Structure 1
Amino acid sequence: MGEDRLFIVFLVVAVVVLLARALAGRIRAPDAILLVLLGMAAGFVPALPQVVVSPELVLFGFLPPLVYHAAFFTAPREARADIVPIVTLAFGLTTVTTVAVAATIHALLPGLGWAAALAFGAAVAPTDAVAATAVLQRLGAPARLVTILEGESLINDGVALTMFGLAAEALGTGFTFAHGAGRLAQVVVGGVLYGLVVGIAIRRFRRSIQDPISQIIVSLVTPYLAYIPAENFGASGVLATVVAGFSIGTHGEGVLQPASRMVGNTFWRILTFLLESALFVLLGLEIREVLRRPGGHTWGDVALTTLAVSGVVIGVRLLWELGNGPLADLVPGGRRSREGLGRRQRIVIGLGGMRGAISLAIALSLPAAVGPERGVLVLLTALVVLVTLIGQAPLLPLLLRRFGLIESDERRREVMVARKAGLQAALARLDELAEEDEVDERTAEAFRQMLEVRLDRVRYFLDRQDADGRSRPPGGRHVRTELVRAQRAKLTALYRKGRIGAGTLREVSRELDFEDPVVIRKSRS
């Protein structure tokens, strides 16, 4: 691709992302839905060049950071508590879905071999929890449902990509059962062991780094260090990346030191959003030619196949979630893990399995050995993603309200309780330092007043919530906003008069960012 064409594609990606963000804020729809629609619409702009996305670019460029980010921010205690439902969904359901979709597509497209059918099944089998959890968290759904969906999405990525890799190998060489079992063991065990090695090595290495920029560079290199060598060794790069990310993220404070954690979190949030968004747009640009001539198939065939595959994907998941009780009971701790997950919760989990960026990435990496059907399989994957996002995401708010599963204000109260405990511990430690003469009384009093003001705000929130059962933002938020605004105005005036320099203006402005309620609220959304 020439430099001019590359620039045009980059510009289209940026425009689509900006439009999706603007529309998402207005109509309160998940970004993923709008990115799919706008990305596919962008493919019909006549002046745009034809785009062919290299499978290697997707596998080695996009996947490592996406998978690593999900693994790094996994909640270990919550995931361990719900390990049985997570594992049965991630391993059992992903395998069943892959086989069911493969059988369906093989019946509808008889010219497609079983290896290619299994590769396609592996592409649409893994879920993407981004859209579902965005809806659930915004409405205040039980945190347990969010944990299960996120944990499942993290593990089933590795399961699906492992099956996809084996199916892709079978396209070129053909497998016997014994050979396939041996390769599966090599892929899984090798990936897990190498991921552990990378995780331990990075954790030790990062302790010697204090510079925030160097910390971010290390965090960016880590997923590629885990993924690419593992693939070259014949192991699973995805499993290696998942294990490395989970190992680093759950030991100590993770890759980033406290001074750079806020910047690092922002960097990774923006990076993963841009990578996922770019996948949707690139897919839209690539399928333009397929839409004009869908692999020799009629549009009726494409529509029928899309509905059939989407029905299998959604139906198998619902049936699995509602009927896998006997299977879960066979697992140690399975019966206990199902406590609190009634029929209503399982229906929400069943309809929370939308497909997204990982499915697109796998489809775009289908090898040329698939043959002339590759284009229509990419198209079908995009349409299945679209059907699950548009068809399932709007149902979640209705179901949560209908089933009475909205736990409004619980998360915020939990945050306030944690802040209260932390501030009380800080005050107790300050008294100890004062008694031991490690801090003079004037300094101790200054810190004590600062901590007590913060503690009073937390108590005020908790008292109001306990009084009427509903949380309302503390009345001091407006005052804090006005005070910060006044300080910003004064800083700007001092700069314009030449009394302070640009460096001082930026430094003090950054400090005010940590006090501005508006900035804090937007950074959390």
Structure 2
Amino acid sequence: MHDDAYILAGLLVVLTVLAGRMLAGRLRVPDAVMLVGLGFAISFLPGMRQIHVSPEIVLLVFLPPLIYNAAFFSAPREMRAEARPIIALAVGMTLVSAFAIAGVTWLLLPDTAWPAAIALGAAVAPTDAVASSAVLKRVGAPRRVLTVLEGESLINDGVALTLFSLAVTAMVTPLTPAAGLLELVKVVAGGIAYGTVIALLVTWSRRRLRDGNTQLVVSLVTPFIAYIPAEMMGFSGVLAAVVAGFYLGTRGDGILPPRVRVTGTIVWQGLVMLLESVLFVLLGLQLHEVLSGVSGLAPAQLVLSAVAVIAVSVLVRLVWQVWVAPVTRYLPGKLRMDPGPVRERIIIGWSGMRGAISLAIALSLPLTVGRGEFTDRNVLIFLAAAVVLATLVGQGTTLPLLLRRLGVPQEHGLRSEIAAAEVAMGRAALTRIDELLSDALVDEQAAETYRQMHKLRVKQSRALLEAGPEQRPEAKQRVRGAAFLRHEITRAERQALNRLYRGGDIGHEAFQTLQRELDVREPHRPHPG
């Protein structure tokens, strides 16, 4: 295809992403299913079947920002408190899942070589906490469950991709146990060391940059600077990106000014959404090639293999949580850990949805091995896609029902923490207003205006903290009503600003300055009730 054809195809993929997310919301269909279906539909358009996505593009364009973003927004304090169960899941369960999936694949598809089967296991072993966390936060699941899932998702990507890299290497060059161990040490140690160096250099440079746009560009290129050179040097680019993201995420508040953080968060949320969605559309585009590549297998064998791989992916995790995790309380010394109540363990076990990372790893399988075509590639992609879609739909839609059936009590800890913090912040603001007024640095009218505003916020937050179970709905209603009022006031100000700009009463620079102020003040939840 010509370059202009690829540009048009890329534009069509982006439009498909927008249409898919809109339709998924309206029809209440999982985003992944809608995007794969639309990707398959547009593959019938002229020229679209000739679109081939290079595995190198998937590795170099999609993986670095997705992994870096997950590490950047992790919660280090909470993860440190749950470090043992997180590591047990992220390392132990991920490796067990990978080899179990590899074993069942090799048994049902005996023509598949062991390295290829392990590559599939490594691709679908890591879980994606984004989908499960969205559901669990909405229903008020225990904080510990969310911490364990998010911490596991951060580490298991690095474990799985390191195993995947070794498996792909073994496809071409058979590795002895000693050579494999040496390669593993080099890959892991080199990735961690290089990621640390990049994090320190980015921290040093950000402190010396004054322009917000330049700081945002540095944020966007950091995952690629961490990932690509590490891979070129034979280290783990994934671990380098994870280490850089984790380090910078825990220190970002002191490096970036508030305006850049607000803009950067919006940009990163949009970028991650686009990358994840494009991956599912690309899978749909490649379904023709994948299905034709597996046409040599009997349909019954193919379906049986897919069902078996899905079942192993789900059951290994459940068995690990329900029966293996309790044994850890009997381990000696520092290895001993509290597995938590059985209800929480079941929730964690059922929250093993696979997502965009697994899909990206599968799509990055090489086209050739040595001098020949990699004949198992389409079968492995088919099986990986089956696991991703089955877990996103099956487990994702049944997770709320499971929580209700188990009778897991809802937690309001986050809401209480926010309310308590708002009380303390409001009091600090009131104290500072009085100090400035006593020093004659502000006038009485301005001080009283801001004093009343902060008194109201403190009063609302205290009411939410002090409300009993029977009063809590009424207190939350008042807080939501106040947010709705702030939204309506901001909307009225925005309409007035637009009228002034359209009428020529103010210039573009003044318009943009005031618009940014309104954007920062916009309440997060504008609807009453």
TM-score by length of 2: 0.91
In the alignment, is residue 385 of structure 1 matched against residue 426 of structure 2? no
The correspondence for 1:455, drawn from 455, 458, 480, is 458
Cα pair 1:287 1:375 within 8 Å, conserved: no
Q: How far, CA to CA, are the matches of 1:505 and 1:464 in structure 2?
A: 42
Relative to structure 1, the CA distance from residue 478 to residue 152 in structure 2 (aligned partners, 3 Å threshold; closer, same or farther) is: closer
Q: Secondary structure at the match of 1:251?
A: helix
Give CA deviations for 1:150-192 in whole Å, capped at 9, x if unaligned: 1111111000000011111111111011100100111111111
**2:351 aligns to what?**
352
1:493 pairs with one of 492, 499, 507: 499
The 1:456–1:5 alpha-carbon spacing in structure 2 relative to 1, beyond 3 Å, is same
Residue 415 in 1 paired to residue 418 in 2?
yes
Contact 1:30/1:135 (CA < 8 Å) preserved in 2?
Answer: no
Question: For residues 458 and 205 of structure 1, do their structure 2 counterparts lie closer, same or farther at Cα, with a shift above 3 Å needed?
Answer: same
1:352/1:396 contact within 8 Å kept: yes
Map of 1:476 onto structure 2: 482
> Within the alignment, does 1:70 sit opposite 2:70 as a pair?
yes
Q: Cα distance, 1:439 vs. partner?
A: 5.0
How do 1:186-265 and structure 2 match up within 5 A?
186-251=186-251, 253=253, 256-265=256-265
Matches within 5 A, 1:107-126: 107-126=107-126
Q: What is the RMSD computed on CA atoms of the aligned residues? A: 2.4
The alpha carbon displacement at 1:376 in A equals: 1.4
Give the secondary-structure state (helix, strand or coil) at the position aligned to 2:94: helix
Q: Which of residues 481, 495, 511 is equivalent to 1:505? A: 511
Counterparts in 2 of 1:345 and 1:455: CA distance versus 1, 3 Å: same
**Deviation of 1:40 (Å):** 4.1
Q: Any stretches of 5+ residues in structure 2 without a counterpart?
A: none
Q: Matched residues in 1 for 2:207 and 2:312: separation?
A: 48
TM-score (norm 1): 0.92
Alignment of 1:258-337 (within 5 A): 258-324=258-324, 325-327=326-328, 329-330=330-331, 332-333=333-334, 335-337=336-338
Task: Tell me the SS of whatever aligns to 1:521.
Answer: coil
Question: Structure 1 residue 428: deviation in Å?
Answer: 2.2
Paired residue type of 2:146? V
Measured after TM superposition, the shift of residue 515 of structure 1 is: 3.6
- Give the Cα–Cα distance (whole angstroms) in 2 for the partners of residues 331 and 92 of structure 1: 17
Quote how far apart the aligned CAs of 1:425 are. Answer: 1.8
Q: Secondary structure at the match of 2:354?
A: coil
Structure 1 residue 342 and structure 2 residue 348: aligned? Answer: no
Alpha-carbon separation, structure 1, partners of 2:332 and 2:290: 45
How far, CA to CA, are the matches of 1:515 and 1:232 in structure 2? 45
Contact 1:86–1:151, Cα closer than 8 Å, also in 2 = yes
Moved more, 166-175 or 35-44: 35-44
Distance 2:526 2:156 in 1: 31
Moved more, 435-444 or 175-184: 435-444
The answer to whether the 8 A contact 1:461-1:472 is kept is no
Cα offset for 1:374?
1.0
**Alpha carbons of 1:273 and 1:88: their partners in 2 closer, same or farther (altered >3 Å)?**
same
- Offset of residue 440 of structure 1: 5.5
Q: Secondary structure at the match of 2:195?
A: helix
Identity of aligned residues (%): 49
What 5-or-longer segments of structure 1 have no aligned partner? none
Please give the secondary structure, in 1, of the residue aligned with 2:148: helix
Contact 2:362/2:380 (8 A) holds in 1: yes
The answer to which of 1-10 and 380-389 deviates more is 1-10
* Count, aligned residues: 519
Distance 1:46 1:292 in 2: 18
Amino acid at match of 2:485: V
**Cα deviations across residues 312-366 of structure 1 (Å, max 9, x unaligned)?**
110111001112222464375554543xx21111111111111111111111111
CA 1:411–1:305 in structure 2 vs 1: closer, same or farther (change >3 Å)? same
Of 448-457 and 182-191, the range deviating more from structure 2: 448-457
1:354 maps to a residue whose letter is M
Give 1:83-122 correspondences, 5 Å limit: 83-122=83-122
Q: What amino acid sits opposite 1:472 in the alignment?
A: Q
- Partner Cα distance (2:7, 2:120) in 1: 31
What pairs up with 1:41-52 in 2 under 5 angstroms? 41-45=41-45, 48-52=48-52
Q: Does the Cα contact within 8 Å between 1:139 and 1:406 map onto a contact in 2?
A: no
Aligned mates of 1:194, 1:456 — CA distance in 2: 49
CA change 1:430–1:484 in 2 (3 A) is closer
Deviation at 1:281, TM superposition (A): 0.9
Q: Deviations over 1:110-130 (max 9, x none)?
A: 111111111111111111111
Instruction: Pick closer, same or farther for the CA change 1:413–1:67 going to 2, 3 Å.
Output: same
**Contact 1:132/1:352 (CA < 8 Å) preserved in 2?**
yes
On the 8 A contact 2:30/2:393 being kept in 1, the answer is no
Q: CA deviation at 1:478?
A: 4.0
8 A Cα contact 2:69 2:268, kept in partner: yes
1:371-390 per-residue CA deviation (whole Å, 9 max, x = no partner) reads 21111111111111111111
Cα deviation digits, residues 12-40 of structure 1 (max 9, x gap): 32233223322343355553443344434
Range moving further from structure 2, 282-291 or 247-256: 247-256
Could you tell me how far apart the structure 2 residues matched to 1:477 and 1:158 are? 41
